[in-house]
Amino acid sequence: MKIDWNSKYNTIAAYAFIVLSSVILFFIILSGLNGFTRAVGNYISVLYPFLYGFVIAYILNFFMTFVEKQMNRTAMKDEKYDRLRKVVALIFSYIIAIAFIGLFFAVILPQLILSITGLVMELPRYIGDISEYINEFTEIYTFDPRVVDFINTRWNELGESINNLAVGLLPATIGFIRNTATSIWNVFLGIIISLYMLSDKKKFISTGKKMIYGLLKPSAARRFLELLGRTQKIFSQFLVGKVLDSIIVGIIAFLGLSLFKMPYVPLISFIITVTNIIPFFGPFIGAIPSVIIIFFVSPIKAVWFLVFILLLQQLDGNVIGPKILGESMGISSFWILFAILVAGKIMGVTGLIVGVPLFVLVYSVVKEIIESRLKQKGLPEETKAYEKEGYVEPLETPQENG
């Protein structure tokens, strides 16, 4: 007997069965959520080498593209040298990456560990010196005993918290290095996978396009590929520009702090470089722990550091950042703040970094849809046209069909 799936009651029964099965499956997963999470984690861990490979290939592709463009300006620009250009660009990309990693482990990391170790060893003395300064200050000037007790209590609590945090910095750094070393096999496999991805990237891209055109209608496929291209362009412009901007700011900070003989220059410069990647809030996030570290050594130098960091951020915000990023974001400061707050709340630290380009992507799509609808209605697409009060007349009055 053939079932008529178009029948009203059969359709209702099928939908009811699907909903009921989904609810039962949901409660089964919820009741054993920890086991389900571990099982999913075990299966996902198999894909870690491919994830590492994709990330490595995505980063190295910037170097590879740059080298290929430079080679296209030489005598090797002919098509017969395509294979050779690809091989040379691939080799140079990995050489550049290895040079950066070697520089970090040979120069930057030892200085960071040395600074953190020195801070941990000297922090109790710094806290004691400031406690004595507070006691001397309260002896010179007359304060209510309750105020003095409150200040001493709060300072002791703050000193204990900072001391515990500083003591945990060195184990955390060593733990990070150890965890990285334990996943060295996945990283090694990721490097091999990235080699295959970069060497055959055109083939992988063509295969992906083939699948998209096979699964979607031609118009939908073209639209989907256009969005993918726009996503890659926005994220690459932002991430590459922001990383380059942060490195320049970190170098200026290192030179300036060294010139003014600030304490723990490598550590503070590294903090400024890393936190500057976060738009808007990055300078403040990096300045707070840096000021506290310098304040323990010298309160006067902490004040001068604040002046220096404010001048540096003005230089970055008005000169360095615009020169590197240009108008690639294309949104106002209000929307940047909105994107950071919302994405940071949802995705944490990752949201603080990728929130702005993600919002720019959504903003560009919504803007395109709105302007397309306005054009169909014969209304102006420019925002300035809607600044004046009153109704905005259509550009052209559509003719009604008789």
Query: For residue range 63-114, what is the model confidence (pLDDT) as tens digits?
Result: 888 888 887 777 666 666 677 778 888 888 888 888 888 887 777 777 777 7
The pLDDT assigned to 402 comes to: 40
Write a three-state SS string for 219-285. HHHHHHHHHHHHHHHHHHHHHHHHHHHHHHHHHHHHHHHHHCCCCCHHHHHHHHHHHCCCCCCHHHH
Co-location of 108 and 195 in the same domain: yes
Q: Is 386 within the bounds of a domain? A: no
Beta strands in 36-128 (DSSP E): none
Q: Which helix (H) or strand (E) holds 292?
A: helix 282-297
The pLDDT assigned to 36 comes to: 56
The residue-averaged pLDDT of 320-348 equals: 74
76 contacts: CB under 8 Å, gap ≥ 6: 84, 85
- The HSE-up count of residue 162 (CA atoms within 13 Å, CB side) is 23
pLDDT in tens, 198-233: 888 888 888 888 998 888 888 888 988 898 888 888
Task: Give the residue, 310 or 142, on which the prediction is more confident.
Answer: 310
Q: Is 138 within the bounds of a domain? A: yes
Co-location of 195 and 263 in the same domain: no
Co-location of 82 and 221 in the same domain: no
Co-location of 90 and 28 in the same domain: no
- Pick from 30-44, 255-269, 347-361 the range whose average pLDDT is largest: 255-269
Co-location of 64 and 80 in the same domain: yes
Cα–Cα separations (whole angstroms), residue 255 to 104, 292, 322, 324, 326: 18, 20, 22, 21, 25
Q: Is 353 within the bounds of a domain? A: yes
Co-location of 343 and 285 in the same domain: no
Co-location of 54 and 195 in the same domain: yes
Of the three residues 149, 164, 199, the one that is the final residue of a domain is: 199
Q: Is 211 within the bounds of a domain? A: no
Co-location of 61 and 195 in the same domain: yes
Task: Give the residue, 67 or 155, on which the prediction is more confident.
Answer: 67
pLDDT in tens, 119-130: 667 766 766 666
Range of the domain at 313: 216-328
Co-location of 3 and 77 in the same domain: no
Q: Is 59 within the bounds of a domain? A: yes
Handedness of CA 323, 328, 329, 330 (dihedral sign): positive
Q: Is 392 within the bounds of a domain? A: no
The count of domains in the chain is 4
Q: Is 168 within the bounds of a domain? A: yes
Confidence of residue 255 (pLDDT cuts 50, 70, 90): very high
353 contacts: CB under 8 Å, gap ≥ 6: 277, 278
Co-location of 92 and 141 in the same domain: yes
The overall average pLDDT reported for the chain is 77
Co-location of 244 and 302 in the same domain: yes
Co-location of 194 and 53 in the same domain: yes
Structure tokens at 189: 């496999």
